[in-house]
Amino acid sequence: MLLLDRTIRSAAIAMGVLFIGLALLGIFGIWWVDHVATQIVLKGSGLVETAVGVIDAATTRANELIATSRTEVREASETIAVVGLRAEANGPVLNALSERLETTLEPRVVQVQDALIPVRDALATIGNVLNLMSSLPIIADRAPRLGALNEIFQRIEGLSADTTQLRGTLRALADGQPNYLSAETVATLNGLAQRIDARLGEVQANVHDMHEDIAALQVRLDKRKSHVLFLFNLLALFATLMFVWIGYSQLVVIRHHRSRGQAQEEAR
């Protein structure tokens, strides 16, 4: 009977030691998992922030180019209206205006398109990060649509065509050396200029809307990132307390069995 009691006590102590070891491993494991999960979230957030920075720089550059282009188009429209009243200056002024559109406005429209090209890759990066994080409902969000960017590029292509048409019309009028510009011709040229200005305004509005959507997305993700990291730490702390309680309870069991064993040894 004494042997059986000693065997049970030794087994209980061994099990207690085993559970204490598992609790220590559990504490290490839970904080390792917390570290890995935190790094994944931070890395994904870093990729999004980098992509947003690219988009911000691209849209800022595009807005500057568009604003300058709109100013130039309006000046060209005013020049056309004035030239129509000054027949003797038609040829040289129209020729100079055509060259100005060719050397400044057309390249600037191309620069707007080039400035926005990196936005496509940045939007794709944000979409990929959001798809990877979609497994976490608290941080999941709608990926930005590439359709808005494609619409901007389509408008820019229309701009290029209108700009070429306006420059070609001015060049033809300058080469023809007209004695005067009829009201119909002036209206046609002004109509082209106004259409270019309107399309530039549409592109500018679309770029602004896209920038605002991405900025709002970043704000939402930053808030959700903070919530997720807090939740990770809270869960890790709760699990740590649970493992500490398990280890402490097993330590109490071990001390109890050792005390019983010492009492029995003293009784003998």
Looking at the structure of the chain, the number of domains it has is: 1
107 within a domain of the structure (yes/no): yes
Q: What is the pLDDT of residues 79-116, one digit of tens each?
A: 777 766 554 556 677 777 777 777 788 888 888 889 98
Two tokens, residue 212: 């605002």
Which range has the worst mean pLDDT, 36-45, 66-75, 181-190, 231-240?
Answer: 181-190
pLDDT attached to residue 168: 76
39 within a domain of the structure (yes/no): no
Q: What pLDDT band is residue 6 in, cutting at 50, 70 and 90? A: low
Mean pLDDT computed over every residue of the chain:
80
- The conformation of residue 179, written as its DSSP 8-state character, comes to S
- The conformation of residue 139, written as its DSSP 8-state character, comes to T
CATH number at residue 197: 1.20.1420
- Coil, strand or helix at 203: helix
Two tokens, residue 13: 């102590």
- Rounded to an integer, what is the distance from CA 87 to the centroid of its chain? 54
- Domain span at residue 138? 47-227
Q: At residue 266, what is the residue type?
A: E
pLDDT attached to residue 241: 92
252 within a domain of the structure (yes/no): no
Rounded mean pLDDT, 209-219: 87
pLDDT attached to residue 235: 92
Which range has the worst mean pLDDT, 47-61, 70-84, 89-103, 206-220?
Answer: 89-103
pLDDT attached to residue 87: 46
Q: What is the pLDDT of residues 164-205, one digit of tens each?
A: 887 777 777 666 655 556 667 777 777 888 888 888 888 889
74 within a domain of the structure (yes/no): yes
28 within a domain of the structure (yes/no): no
CA distance readout (Å), 152 to 9, 119, 161, 195, 201: 78, 11, 15, 16, 11
Residue 37 has pLDDT above 50, yes or no: yes
pLDDT attached to residue 86: 56
Residue 267 has pLDDT above 80, yes or no: no
Output the pTM of the full model. 0.76
Rounded mean pLDDT, 260-264: 63
pLDDT attached to residue 177: 55
259 within a domain of the structure (yes/no): no
Q: What does the alpha-carbon distance between residue 257 and residue 239 come to, in Å, rounded to a whole number?
A: 27
Residue 62 has pLDDT above 80, yes or no: yes
Q: What does the alpha-carbon distance between residue 222 and residue 142 come to, in Å, rounded to a whole number?
A: 14
Q: What is the pLDDT of residues 113-152, one digit of tens each?
A: 899 889 888 888 888 888 877 776 666 667 677 778 888 8
- The conformation of residue 144, written as its DSSP 8-state character, comes to P
16 within a domain of the structure (yes/no): no
9 within a domain of the structure (yes/no): no
pLDDT attached to residue 174: 65
